[in-house]
Chains A and B, each alone.
Chain A
Amino acid sequence: MAVPYHLLKACGGIVFASQGTDIHSFGSNLEHISTWKYPLQVKSTETTAEKPAATTEPTAEVSASPTPEGPPAKRRRTEETKEETPKDQDATEEAAAAAPVKKGRFHRSPVQVANERPFINCLIATTDGRHLILTTGSDKTIWVLEHDGAGNLKQLSQRPMPKRPCSITLTHDNTTILSADKFGDVYALPLIPSSEPTSSASTPKPIPSRSATPSSSTTPGFKPQANEFTVHTRRNLRALENQRLTAEQVKQQKEANEAEKAQFEHTLLLGHVSMLTAITVGQAVSPATGIQRDWIITADRDEHIRVSRGVPQAHVIDNFCLGHEDFVKSLCILPGHPSILVSGGGDDDILLWDWLGGKLITRAPVLQHVKEITPEAEKVAVGRVFGYQTVEGETKVAVVVERVPALFIYTFSPETPLLQHTETISLPGNLLDVEYLQKQSKLLVTVDHSSSLIIIEGSTQTPAQNLPAGEDLKIEPQELQKLLYTTESLRKLSDFD
């Protein structure tokens, strides 16, 4: 099954489009230049699924996986089922059915991890276009590629993160990657990793993550948490005794794991107790000092948009932009209007904020325009709000709504200030991503459709010709759908107490 292009990024005259785990580069007329391939294709589903699943050892990872995981990460299944989209569940069930793994209390099966497919889920570039940064879902890895300016990519680094990154961005000086992950933490990584491997423990004063236990991060060795005063029942006392007996073993295991831990510089900046969905960096003149400063703006599944200061004061929350009543999925600082933030997600509207003041400026309806295309729509899942500035100097916002075959364009009028819907562009397939080609002042979209790249100029739509035949991934249509459409699954369904 052919995978459509699902993410777009323009760097100068070059356009990058991701297709599954590949990145294709195109020239200004969408002629194909080159393809960067995910280097570990051997680690595809088939090879690992055939591996005997007899190993009950919980640490048994896929051998080719570039993810050396510390102790917290191996408990992923419990987490995934809770917070994750149903995406992984089917795969998990299949795996469980295929391999008769003895289901322990925690259902620890290495196959479940193996069956997740790497898939590019973020694609950004430095402002000079010289570096491309992408993340792949299943292996939690951040990749930095060097771009020679003519469309050729060279891999510079791959860094497996402690948890799956959901959104990445760069600071304004283009030297630091900020990665927001599913666990709710934001990490800072240098764009170019320093040559000597530095373990995170050696950095001056690291903030412990919620996932870091004191035993693994500070105090050496394991110590039972309870004592005779805190447990009272006979059974609990016996359990405590067992804990003490196994303490030595656990300690040894920890030391072994410690050696495998991520050996690159990454600093925890801040964290939400919720899955992060978007991160962006805002720049403004500080009201207190008059100096131009960065702020880190993060959005989560629990309707919050948080405005924290930039490094090194990322622990200070200056504000929240509150007003969403469903998950937030996408954030965008309006180009040309650095004080204005647009956010979209599970709400019927997109919201316009004065982010530094934490004030809602206005809302612009989305659902009502989606109904003009798909009348049966009752809810919308805004996958992306994308701001761009036209040659005429107008600031526009293109809105990608999941599973809707149209692009919605809003125009920002700074005087009022107001965000006005000005155009709906019908497309031959569900819109996946949008990019603005500055030099040609054209919109480029990709749709869930065989010839998926389309240039939009005024009212004419020109599908790109001679696209490279994508690798025919052995992927079920349902699985592909789940990989492509991840927004709606953020909506909360459960209604238990």
Chain B
Amino acid sequence: MGPSKKNQKRTNDENAPVKKNKKQKREDYRAAMREEGVSTLPRKKFYRQRAHANPFSDHQLVYPPHPEQMDWSTLYPEYVVKGSEETPAEETSESTAVIPKLLTQDVEVADIGCGFGGLLVALAPVMPETLVLGLEIRVSVTQFVEDRIKVLRHQNPGTKLYQNVSVLRANTMKFLPNFFRKSQLSKIFICFPDPHFKARKHKQRIVSTTLNSEYAYVLKPGGIAYTITDVPDLHEWMVQHFEAHPAFERVSEKEQEADPCVRIMRMETEEGKKVERNKGQKYVALFRRLEDPVW
């Protein structure tokens, strides 16, 4: 979600026949990826989508009404509790609560706005015992990450490598509590979010004091919210809004630099690499979820 990805549309319009071709190619490629294309990693150019999505519009989203009704088994097939597979979820017909298959452990790390999944892929071998979930609002981009993880899993048969990461399409600004229970997560990553430069778009920013209450809700006390951006003002905004929230405190610089996730976040995210190429600055801020006071 970088600040400058705007000029693609224009070149598309100029060569209309090429565009159609492109679209066709794109669809063919993705269909092939879906079916058997498991040998090579997917190519980004077939999954591009404009960088901005409006978080306030009613997208056609799939989300569980309650975290307990979330079916994680398709996302982490290696972690499904053995024996629970016999009860197929389909037999329940209508609004009766579906009891999904259980996982041996809960998702503990969320990458909000995971983009093309650089962080997920880098985190997978670093925290092999932890389930990591990427959340992304753009359909094509989510598909790319899905295909990418599929291929990576296929390339590492017999091991659990990459079985612990997965991706989901979601609007986290609205539906985070539909996926995660209270205090379920230990880490939340917010990497290079859409900066929304215009003041009138600031309300669409993914960090705000009121929304931080929801991040605090899904994070367990002691859990960490990681933020990184290449836009100084957005960095200031995020720091200001997290520090204004009584449930968070800023993690000291020393501790921040000692955290291995920070290095990965700096170097391995797709945007991080891009900023590196452009010799831009990167601003990191970590916030610890504090214990709630008694009420």
Contacts and interface: CB of A to CB of B under 8 A. Distances in A.
Contacts, number: 156
Nearest to B204: A210
Most B Cβ at <10 Å: residue of A72, A273, A288, A497: A273
B59 A497 contact: yes
A229 B230 contact: yes
Contacts of B3: 226, 230-231
B233 interface: yes
B177 A185 contact: no
A316 B233 contact: no
Report the contact-size class of chain A (Cβ under 8 Å from the partner): 35 or more
Interface in A181-219: 183-185, 205, 207-216, 218
Interface in B142-163: none
A216 B203 CA distance: 13
Contact of B65 (A272, A274, A303, A496): A303
Contact of A325 (B95, B200, B278): B95
B216 A208 contact: no
Nearest to B53: A497
A274 B174 contact: yes
Contacts of B278: 229, 232
Contact of B247 (A231, A315, A325): A315
A272 B59 CA distance: 17
A495 B232 CA distance: 36
Interface in A223-242: 223, 225-227, 229-233, 236
Contacts of B65: 303, 322-325
A205 B210 contact: no
Contacts of B234: 225
A210 B205 contact: yes
Contacts of A72: 199-200, 203
A223 B95 CA distance: 52
B77 interface: no
B234 to A, nearest CB: 7
A317 interface: yes
B4 A236 contact: yes
Contacts of A320: 177, 217
A309 interface: yes
A78 B213 CA distance: 26
Contacts of A232: 4, 278
Nearest to B177: A320
Contact of B197 (A184, A210, A226, A286): A226
Nearest to A213: B199
Interface of A: 71-72, 75, 78, 82-83, 183-185, 205, 207-216, 218, 223, 225-227, 229-233, 236, 268, 270-274, 286, 288-289, 293, 302-304, 306, 308-309, 313, 315-320, 322-325, 348, 492-497
Shortest Cβ-Cβ A-B pairs, 7 listed: A271-B210, A225-B197, A322-B66, A210-B208, A317-B217, A273-B173, A492-B58
